[in-house]
Structure 1
């Protein structure tokens, strides 16, 4: 397979990105109309709150979803941005790039999500799959936190995440032990996920932000080993490891294909959420063609999500979906259906059944 990432120079990439943004703005009205089953997509990656635990009221989010989005996973942000007066004075940062102050784990985010969900009617609840994320993945007690949340809020949660292991500009701001893919605490989390039947949305950059030329992405090897140790756990790799400055590494498409073709890695699924991911995957016609071909050949392994954080309008919320218009146009009907809705339904419907069964056996009335 031709390596499309390495053939795009910096200048060409910027030009392609500019024209890709223009193309995303010209999405036709027809493409934004719900299809025959009523919705454009299910959102496999969404944050109701931001880095200071503020966000969109869940009923407002229902209005934003409207007739465009059928179901959504529902996640908080596991990290709280500290407001350090010595650093920003009276300016109250709401995002981790706005201050040099540290981040810290904020467990109450799970109670916030549960409270929002429980305000809904039983019919409205069917559109959401809340996730547990308020734990420190370096803490051996993290799995105990997840059990505790399930027992305090039975009937609410469907999965775990999104939480981060390696993340550009974030990992270095978190106080305490640095998260790694080899940490025994992470093994305990995935063991519990397999036991309960909860899919895990894991953020782990494919590489360091500014790697040396020809540096092997050791993170990919460790992620593959992690999945191999936990073959009964459903792992959803958020953004296929990409970020603001973490770009596709050389031969990344080939690495993805090896993972997809390996039956021992069938528990790994790939989430293409986030507009920062989309900018790489639709940067040129060549990258669109390569990624579309990969999804068409492995349609049951990819999920679409917005990675929207506390959106205020539907237009803002649909930005990532619109950006992917060139890619969606290249997918087969089957691959498009599974990417946008089918894989979400298969994974989260199964999760709901298994988690409720675990709760019935392990939660006292």
Structure 2
């Protein structure tokens, strides 16, 4: 009789839960067999299309995809994936939207607030999995306020409470179009000592940092130098021992590429003081800019081919119900993929993820071994 792996057992049990007790066992067994439970385990598929360096399991009201269902969604398409919620909760203010419950930050004028329970939710979900399933995921800590001098203590407590779980922190935000101004409390800043404490602790523990910081403000004045870029580079230089991934190359929905955008990225990856900084090209909006003209495609491909060790692909998909959303972001980059060398494409879609997060796992587990009572 074929061995049923723990991951496929989860598929089986979720099928029973969805179908209810009425359908016969034979139907559930047929579903289980169709899902591939023929003795194969949930280890990372060698022929996966990509690893996802930027993935949100939950949304702005902390709802999302069941972690077992996400593993089913990944299938053989996504080899490994980061795993994080969204650290901000959208307030449902009856005075503002009445009976209409907002599920996105642009659907309400009410503030956002930091939702620290997201870290426990991610950890508990991860710990419900088998070791084979866990090997495919890299959970991240996000439920902290980067303007709070106690934020680093929160991150430490999460590691102490859930040893063996987390590989990094993020995605968390400092400057983000329309979001930063909605967050209740102090405004996050790239020059805040609280942020330096976070980066120092990440460097001490080996936690990989995924930072969202727009390269500019929405609707900037022409010719005005972005203040965030200067501050961001200074932050990078202050923390040479911290492995950093700059999300989306600093772009947003309305924060478009500024002049010499790719040249700015090149200056970062060639600066010897920023050799610890990597850049993710996640999000379909970033793919849109990279592929909007043949010239943009060629320049993007040239940069990636020249520095393939410093860029990572990610989807930035939020709480999907199928693989199609993640595949759509990947396929939007097809014009760029077609111009990459095989070696560059492999590194950007998989190799760099493995190198960065394998080392992050190793360092964090070593820190926990020395500092956490288990």
| TM-score under structure 1 length normalisation | 0.89
Aligned match of 2:323: 314
Residue correspondence of structure 1 range 119-134 to structure 2 within 5 A: 119-134=128-143
Spell out the pairing of 1:209-248 with structure 2 (5 A cutoff). 209-248=218-257
Residue equivalent to 1:84: 93
1:74 aligns with 2:83: yes
Aligned partner of residue 258 in structure 1, secondary structure: helix
Q: Does residue 167 in structure 1 map to residue 176 in structure 2?
A: yes
Shift of residue 319, structure 1, vs aligned partner? 1.5
Tell me, yes or no, if the aligned pair for 1:64 and 1:317 is still in contact at 8 Å. no
- Aligned-residue offset at 1:218: 1.7
Q: Following superposition, which runs of at least 4 residues in structure 1 exceed 4 angstroms of deviation? A: none
Q: Tell me the residue number matched to 1:150.
A: 159
Structure 2 unaligned regions, length at least 5 = 1-44
Q: Please state how far the C-alpha of 1:37 moved relative to its aligned partner.
A: 2.9
Contact kept, 8 Å, 1:41 with 1:69, in 2: the verdict is yes
Gaps of 5+ in 1: 1-35
- Report Cα offsets for 1:283-325 as digits up to 9, x if no partner: 1110010011001010000000000000011112322111111
Of 113, 117, 135, the residue aligned with 2:126 is 117
Distance 1:62 1:111 in 2: 19
**Greater relative contact order (Cα 8 A, min sep 6): structure 1 or 2?**
1
Whether the 8 Å CA contact 1:161–1:202 is kept in 2: the answer is yes
Q: RMSD value over aligned CA atoms?
A: 0.9
Measured in 2, the distance between the counterparts of 1:131 and 1:260 equals: 24
1:85 Cα offset (Å) = 0.6
Are residue 299 (structure 1) and residue 299 (structure 2) matched?
no
1:9 corresponds to which residue?
A: none
Q: TM-score, normalised by structure 2?
A: 0.87
SS in structure 2 of the partner of residue 90 of structure 1: coil
Select which of 292, 308, 311 maps to 1:283. Answer: 292
Give yes or no for the alignment of 1:259 onto 2:268: yes
- Give deviations 1:182-238, integer Å, cap 9, x for gaps: 000000000000000011000000000110011112211111100110011011000
Identify the residue that residue 146 of structure 2 maps to in structure 1: 137
Corresponding position of 2:32? none
CA contact (8 A) 2:123 2:165 kept: yes
Which of 181, 198, 213 pairs up with 2:207?
A: 198
- Alpha-carbon shift at residue 336 of structure 1 (Å): 0.2
1:343 is aligned, of 334, 346, 352, to 352
> How many residues in Structure 1 have an aligned counterpart in Structure 2?
330
Deviation track 1:103-155 (CA, whole Å, cap 9, x = no partner) reads 00000000000011011001100000000000000000000000000000000
Residue in 1 aligned with 2:48?
Answer: 39
Aligned residue for 1:269, secondary structure, equals strand
Contact 2:46 2:79 in 1 (8 A): no
Output the CA distance in 2 between the equivalents of 1:76 and 1:315: 20
Q: Does 1:364 align with 2:358?
A: no
